[in-house]
Amino acid sequence: MSEFAEAAPQDWQEVLSEALGSPLSPERLHAASSDEGVTQLSIACQDYFEVSTVPGERIRQALERSLFRWPLGSLTVTP
């Protein structure tokens, strides 16, 4: 895959789906913003983009952008 810095939104969506499961929801994105979640997503990004490291701060920024567009409580998901 391409470098994380040049990732398209679709690439990020794919990583999120693989790492967090489906269906994605604002609640899952919010839960992933914990230290443990950021570490999990960083590892998933390293694997997907075939890079040695993805800074946690970059993951947090991407999560913040996603949650800005899709805020917590804006969607009710039924299992």
CB neighbours of residue 13 within 10 Å: 13
User: Is 76 domain-assigned?
Assistant: no
Q: Structural domain tally of the chain? A: 1
What is the percentage of the chain residues whose pLDDT exceeds 90? 46
Contact residues for 17 (Cβ-Cβ < 8 A; gap 6+) = 24
| Residue 65 is assigned to a structural domain of this protein | yes
Is residue 25 very low, low, confident or very high in pLDDT (cuts 50, 70, 90)? confident
Q: Is residue 53 part of a domain?
A: yes
Find the domain containing 47 and state its range. Answer: 4-69
pLDDT of residue 36: 95
Could you tell me if residue 61 is inside a domain?
yes
pTM: 0.79
What's the CA gap between 60 and 29, in Å, rounded? 10
pLDDT given at position 1: 45
